[in-house]
Amino acid sequence: MQERIQATINLFFESPHEKNVAYLALKPETEFTREDRIRLKIIEKDENTLMLDISTSDLTSFRAVVNSYFRWLKIIEDTHSFVKKNIE
């Protein structure tokens, strides 16, 4: 059996609303992975925290997954800041 590269990343948000927005935006991405190379779970840990549980078959896949999720989180953060600044 091949060893896998694994990581758990906890994401802390300022409010439950921000956590829920991020969860709803990221959750669909967990459903379209190749199970043989990437296993990914996003879990609502508590009211302000999400947990990403990542397991990949190789370092290239691991790096791609982590970079993708960090980019998506940055887009979510930028969008939230824009809306908060321009609407509220």
Count of domains observed in the chain:
1
The answer to whether residues 59 and 28 touch, using CB atoms and an 8 Å cutoff, is no
Q: How confident is the model at residue 88 (pLDDT cuts 50, 70, 90)?
A: low
**pLDDT above 70: percentage of residues in the chain:** 94
The domain in which residue 82 lies consists of: 5-87
pLDDT of residue 74: 94
Task: Give the pLDDT score at 31.
Answer: 79
Residue 39 one-letter amino acid: R
Helix axes 16-30, 59-87, angle to 10 degrees: 140
Mean pLDDT of the chain: 89
pLDDT value at residue 2? 74
- Please write the tens of the pLDDT for every residue from 11-54: 999 999 999 999 999 998 887 766 678 889 999 999 999 999 99
Residue 10 belongs to domain with CATH number: 3.30.310.50
